[in-house]
Amino acid sequence: MKASCPDYSLEFAAIAAGASRIAGVDEVGRGPLAGPVTAAAVVLRVDDIPAGLNDSKKLTAARREALFEEIMVRAEVSVAHASVAEIDTLNILRAAHLAMERAVAGLVCAPDHVLIDGNLVPKGLTLPAECVVKGDGRAFSIAAASIVAKVTRDRIMVDLAQQHPGYGWERNAGYPSKSHISALQDLGVTPHHRRSFRPVHNILYQAKP
């Protein structure tokens, strides 16, 4: 069976219901042990949609970078983050939702309908919104947001890797790879690690001999 690809049908449905500005929203970075969680909100122009939009995880790094540049020029985009401190204080789900809320709030003009990737609408989002499970593979706007969020966060982790060499963040983006776990044990915990995440917590608070 041929894999499905995103299209503009959910956006067209919102337009048919009376909306005129539809934002797709997605986040990246729930699973890593280090770095922020990053969200993007994208409002596409129906007559100027970049070709090849898809779930960012299904694209090569080179294709993501190329589409990122196109989206930034051809759509309205807002990117926002929740910090490591906020992740540790709030929990990762609430921090991810906070980043989404900030991304939507950062748009130049408020959308009148929001398509959210996932199964929960962030509590702080007061605009009309709907959840779309696996939305980055279903709706162009969410796919575009997934690309922007991932490329932005990956670039942040590359920059942080230069400040804290040895953890491989330029390759693993802070996710718990074997080499990252090994580096945590050998080099210790940085200010960019999430202390509420078990592998980091265990290293910080392991019993002293």
Annotated binding site for a divalent metal cation: 26-27, 117
d(CA 206, CA 55): 39
Query: In this structure, are residues 80 and 39 in contact, taking their beta carbons and an 8 Å threshold?
Result: yes
Rg (CA), the chain: 18
Numbered residues of the known binding site: 26-27, 117
Q: Is residue 142 a contact partner of residue 115, using CB atoms and an 8 Å limit? A: yes
Angle at 39 between CA 36 and CA 41, to 5 degrees: 160
Please report how many Cα atoms fall inside a 13 Å half-sphere around the Cα of residue 156, on the Cβ side: 21
Q: Are 183 and 199 in contact (CB under 8 A)?
A: no
